[in-house]
Structure 1
């Protein structure tokens, strides 16, 4: 009985050692780079404010809200603009141009939160052009949008990349 117990312990320890050493082994040729998506230059979390057509007055008395931009499942140079259903209720797909960091949507594109339509135009990401409260240099984003619920009014959205630093969270306009 003592030999069986000893054999089981030895077997367990051997399996543990084998698992430990093989789990640390690199896969294939050692290249573990997962790569990136076609919209990597645009993707991320942003602090964005919606402004009236004058580009100065906050729309509906709003302030900065967190937007997210990310690739579509097709990874074909299109991305989602998403305010996470917080304020303007905008989640729509736009096409990107990575050579000049611009983006725009089709006229009357589907808007997924309201099931209406939105036209996104004049979108641009400007690299390293904004300094946050924590003195971190980040990218800026800008785009215009016309919604089916307010035809003829072009809202201007502008903001900057989110750093995640506490002093940069929840900025005010």
Structure 2
């Protein structure tokens, strides 16, 4: 019985030492951010026809994300998570004036097509959500290789995460 208690004590001490070692914080405690952290996040955006007055193909707001590329060099992804217009493409941002665009005929990864994104801009604090929260807006134009010559206009706003702001619906102005 005494040997069993000694073995249990050693096992307990060994387990505690593993937890102590695994909690060692070591390394850089402030890894910093990415080059596009000022614009990275989730958005609600709608694709509009070229007139900017009617939704493309009867669509509604879908959740988009903007996030850095692995290069961390002022390039970022515009990604609708394959929800609507199948848009996942790289853009380059000018952080001083919050404008962005892509190279002509940039690969679009969901539809295995190309897209050209132009006139991209983010405006700070220019939209008020249903909850009354003032957030940023995003605008950009897209011409897809599957519909050459048609430039769709995207507009949207920052996602707050508040329940009353989730799943907004677009209505014509």
TM-score normalized with structure 2 length: 0.89
Tell me the residue number matched to 1:121: 118
Query: Is 1:140 aligned to 2:140, yes or no?
Result: no
Q: Deviations over 1:34-64 (max 9, x none)?
A: 3211111121111000111122211111110
Query: Is 1:66 aligned to 2:42, yes or no?
Result: no
Tell me the residue number matched to 2:7: 8
**Which residue of 153, 159, 162 maps to 2:159?**
162
Residues paired across the two proteins, number = 170
Q: Deviations over 1:6-43 (max 9, x none)?
A: 21121123234434545555425xx5223211111121
CA distance in 2, matches of 1:24, 1:108: 48
TM-score normalized with structure 1 length: 0.89
Give secondary structure in 2 for the equivalent of 1:9.
Answer: helix
Query: Is 1:48 aligned to 2:45, yes or no?
Result: yes
CA RMSD of the aligned region, Å?
1.8
Query: Is 1:37 aligned to 2:66, yes or no?
Result: no
Give secondary structure in 2 for the equivalent of 1:155.
Answer: strand
Deviation at 1:128, TM superposition (A): 2.3
Tell me the residue number matched to 1:94: 91
Give secondary structure in 1 for the equivalent of 2:45.
Answer: strand
Cα distance change, pair 23–137 in 1 and its aligned pair in 2 (3 A): farther
Unaligned runs of 5+ in 2: none
Kept after mapping to 2: 8 A contact 1:41/1:101: no
Deviation at 1:120, TM superposition (A): 0.2
4+ long deviations beyond 6 Å: none
